[in-house]
Amino acid sequence: MAGRWKNDLTWSQVTPKAAWLNRRQVIAAAAGLAAGGIAGVARAGLSAKPSQYSTVEEPTSYEAVTTYNNFYEFGTGKDDPARNAHMLTTEGWQVQIDGLVDKPGTWTMDDVLAGTTLEERIYRFRCVEAWSMVVPWVGFELADLLNRVGVQPSAKYVAFETALRPEEMPGVRTRVLDWPYVEGLRLDEAMNPLTIMATGVYDEPMPNQNGAPIRLVVPWKYGFKSIKSIVRITLTEDEPPTSWNKANGREYGFYSNVNPEVSHPRWSQATEREVGGGLLAKRKPTLMFNGYGQEVASLYDGMDLAKYY
């Protein structure tokens, strides 16, 4: 297990940028730099510290990470987010933090990032649809933010909400989900050091299609728990509703821990296809808790994971 971790170098230190950016992407990255400004880029990634929690596995290509997406607010096709998410306005973004906290309020992105140390977290990422990627996120621990607002003793869960902007999000004009997209974690899951708020990917500001300017990443759970473009975080006493559970509670539970032994009612979860692996790539075996059992299995001691799926 220990061999999976590295703790000395970030992805960008070991790989020349040109090796993972083709020419078109270099142009797009330069445009992002112009839009975000130097400070924005530095905040989003260039100063990110390496982490002991990063996997040594080879990251999925930048191209695949930013063009093969699920972000139903922009359409249900895998290529819809990359095509449509440029419509999302991220300037002046605010995150409301409320509920059972000592200091409720509205935070700008500068407030959120002030005093945080951004890290690169290269994580395995497993969608419930049985595809996977390895993504070099940039972000900070959610625990860090929650400690700054002060979690009250009665809080047991954290609820998250995505922006709802019908004029910028063509997908929300259809009722494929009950908008806004909402998600939730148990407080101990939220406080686990693996749980991050990500503000970048591949050493640059978060592309809109990946959930700009700030999204959750919970690497041991199916991808739909990792809610994008967050505008509200609420500490609650009761388990909060979650979008895919509301849409189909038999197929998608609150916990949604990656589990090769618990099949989705319509397909096996035993194996996964690595996106960008090519047509001949063999499916990989799916790992319990997506390979993060050493860090998180104890959160579920004594729980029947087939019942609490």
Ligand X SMILES: Nc1nc2c(c(=O)[nH]1)N[C@H]1C(S)=C(S)[C@@H](COP(=O)(O)O)O[C@H]1N2
Residue 82 or 191 with smaller CB distance to ligand X: 82
For tokens 């899951």, the residue is 189
> What phi and psi, each to the nearest 5 degrees, are found at residue 197?
-95, 120
Distances (CA, A) of 199 to 168, 210, 294: 20, 10, 26
Q: How far is the CB of 36 from ligand X (least distance, A)?
A: 18
Q: How far is the CB of 180 from ligand X (least distance, A)?
A: 8
Query: Residue number with the shortest CB distance to ligand X?
Result: 223
Point out which residues pair with 157 in neighbouring strands.
186, 236
The helices-and-strands tally (H runs, E runs) of the chain is: 10, 14
Rounded distance, CA 299 to CA 189, Å? 7
Residue 123 is encoded by which pair of tokens? 């994580």
CA dihedral for 213, 161, 181, 135, sign (positive or negative): positive
| CA within 13 Å, CB half, 23 | 0
**147 among the known binding-site residues?**
no
Under the binding rule (CB under 6 A), the answer on residue 160 touching ligand X is no
Site mask for ligand X (CB under 6 A), range 68-107, x = bound: -xxxxx----------------------------------
Which stretch, 32-40, 67-75, 105-113, 139-147, contacts ligand X (CB under 6 A)? Answer: 67-75
**215 among the known binding-site residues?**
yes
**122 among the known binding-site residues?**
no
Under the binding rule (CB under 6 A), the answer on residue 227 touching ligand X is yes
**78 among the known binding-site residues?**
no
Point out which residues pair with 186 in neighbouring strands.
157
Residue 282 is encoded by which pair of tokens? 């063999």
Binding-site member from 43, 121, 221, 228 for ligand X (CB under 6 A):
228
Rounded distance, CA 143 to CA 276, Å? 32
- Is the distance from CB of 40 to CB of 91 less than 8 angstroms? no
**227 among the known binding-site residues?**
yes
Give the rounded distance of the alpha carbon of 104 from its chain centre: 24
For tokens 């806004």, the residue is 180
Which stretch, 114-122, 220-228, 276-284, 292-300, contacts ligand X (CB under 6 A)? Answer: 220-228
Q: How far is the CB of 229 from ligand X (least distance, A)?
A: 6
Residue 71 or 107 with smaller CB distance to ligand X: 71
Rounded distance, CA 81 to CA 69, Å? 6
Under the binding rule (CB under 6 A), the answer on residue 132 touching ligand X is no
Residue 148 or 229 with smaller CB distance to ligand X: 229
Residue 12 or 69 with smaller CB distance to ligand X: 69
Q: Decide which of Mo ion, ligand X, none touches 227; Cβ closer than 5 to 8 Å per partner kind.
A: ligand X
Residue 128 or 235 with smaller CB distance to Mo ion: 128
Interface residues toward ligand X, by CB under 6 A: 69-73, 127, 162, 181, 210-211, 223-224, 226-229
**Which residues are part of a known binding site for Mo-molybdopterin?**
69, 72-73, 127, 162, 210, 215, 226-228
